[in-house]
Amino acid sequence: MGNLINPLSLPFNPKKPTIMHVDLNSCFASVEQQANPKLRGKPVAVAAYDSPRGCIIAPSIEAKEKGVTVGMRVRDGKMLCPNLIVLTPDPPKYRNIHIRLRKVLETYTDHITPKSIDEFVLDLEGYPSQKRGMRVVAKEIKERVRKEIGEWLRISIGIGPNRFLAKTAAGLHKPDGLDVIDNTNVEEIYKSLPLMKLCGIKANNIARLNQQNIFTTMDFYQAPIWKLKAAFASVVGYYWYVRLHGREVDDVEFERGSFGNSYALPDTRSTPEEISPILMKLVEKASFRMRTHGYRAKGVHVSVLYRSRMHWHHGTTVPEHIFDSRDVYKIAFRTLLKSPYREPVANIAVSLFSLEKSLYSQEHLFTDMGKKEKLTQAVDAVNQKWGNFVITPARMMGLSDKVIDRVAFGNIKELEDSIIMHNE
């Protein structure tokens, strides 16, 4: 984050904008329309499940025009748009497009950060491409995406002096937009943007800002630092002040904190015994990914959302680092037993936290860790060679297709997996 800037009289950043935010519009649905030309120009929605209660995760541009939105149930989407075509996700397709888009963008700069499966941030400062002009480069990227990846894919590009304004610019004219926010037009843009449209500002933040008589984005921009500090009651107010003035506060890369998997149950399971096979598979998936990245964990967290909308979660920390799925499962199951509720489960998640690098290195006095390491490594090697879950614990029997492959929203860490695998 660098040294804190004196905020008392901070003018808007006068430097030429060099940050570019690239956003693949309606990513999953557009990729499906790219793959199947018979879907182009039609309302399409990718949903977690294609059953009436399935949650829509990506409507196409045509479906959005009919009022279909992210988070809507399939049956509600069909009520708004009776000819809606509902598809289930095909993550390898989306990862492949992500990798190909990344390869195109990498020809312009080394400073490239994937923010999610469909968003990248580029810093062109000092690169030859910057001298050609940011708008020229943006237009070229759009053209190359159509020619080299898929003619149906549209991207919105925003250019700004910092990541926040580049992302804001990318959202001004979707789909296929190209906008620049800099010191010449920033006030005009702020005047046209409601607070709710700012990335990172939600209802609770608006309530905080309203308490300080901040009702518009221009009020927010012109507010003195003390007012924002009072509104957010933390350093967050300072970050917003700097961010709105075109300075960078968001170029921080966080270390991986956990590995987790979750599953929405389509059937009715209530007791820990009924849930245990799903818990085992979640543990297997999360532990396998953790080991593949060379980590081990000291904590296991279980989170359960019941159909009654009751939420229960609990984390357990153990004295020794663990890596074997069987050990993780024991802790996860014991943690699950602590839940006081025995009612139908809607969603269950397991995550491993308190991570430490350098797998398989701990010395242990009482158990034969050498054997355990070798067994785990051998099972992982077989699963890597022949496909995930060729060898599985007996507890997972009958779960062949449960806990299917998904693309996490906004999770860029998982994308590293696909890039590693793609390059192998």
Question: Catalytic positions, please?
Answer: 119
* Alpha carbons 165 and 163: distance in angstroms, whole number: 6
The residue type of 351 is S
What stretch of H or E contains 124?
none
Alpha helices in 7-72 (DSSP H): 27-35, 61-65
Question: CA-based Rg of the chain, rounded to a whole angstrom?
Answer: 24
Site for another protein in 165-224 (CB under 8 A): none
By C-alpha distance, which of 66, 61, 93 is closest to 77? 66
* Alpha carbons 46 and 353: distance in angstroms, whole number: 31
CB 62 within 8 A of CB 44: yes
Q: Does 86 bind another protein (CB under 8 A)?
A: yes
Q: Does 386 bind another protein (CB under 8 A)?
A: yes
Judged by CB under 8 A, which of 87, 117, 350, 403 binds another protein?
87
Q: Does 266 bind another protein (CB under 8 A)?
A: no
CA 128 distance to own-chain centroid: 31
Number of Cβ within 10 Å of residue 219's Cβ equals: 16
Site string for another protein, 19-58 (x = CB under 8 A): ------------x--xxxxxx--x-------x--------
CB 237 within 8 A of CB 228: yes
Pick 56 or 228: Cβ nearer another protein: 56
* Alpha carbons 305 and 232: distance in angstroms, whole number: 30
Number of Cβ within 10 Å of residue 188's Cβ equals: 10
Please identify, among the stretches 81-89, 125-133, 299-307, 333-341, the one whose residues bind another protein according to the rule CB under 8 A.
81-89
Instruction: Enter the tokens of residue 105.
Output: 């963008």
> In the bound complex, what is the minimum distance in angstroms from residue 382's beta carbon to another protein?
9
CA 70 distance to own-chain centroid: 14
Please identify, among the stretches 87-95, 105-113, 156-164, 186-194, the one whose residues bind another protein according to the rule CB under 8 A.
87-95
Pick 125 or 405: Cβ nearer another protein: 405
Judged by CB under 8 A, which of 387, 394, 400, 410 binds another protein?
387
Judged by CB under 8 A, which of 46, 47, 63, 84 binds another protein?
84
Number of Cβ within 10 Å of residue 28's Cβ equals: 26
Site string for another protein, 91-130 (x = CB under 8 A): -xx--xx---------------------------------
Beta strands in 6-68 (DSSP E): 19-24, 44-47, 56-59
Pick 5 or 381: Cβ nearer another protein: 381
Pick 149 or 198: Cβ nearer another protein: 149
Site for another protein in 390-419 (CB under 8 A): 390
> In the bound complex, what is the minimum distance in angstroms from residue 100's beta carbon to another protein?
9
> In the bound complex, what is the minimum distance in angstroms from residue 38's beta carbon to another protein?
3
Which residues contact another protein (rule: CB under 8 A)?
31, 34-39, 42, 50, 82-87, 92-93, 96-97, 150, 383-388, 390, 421-422
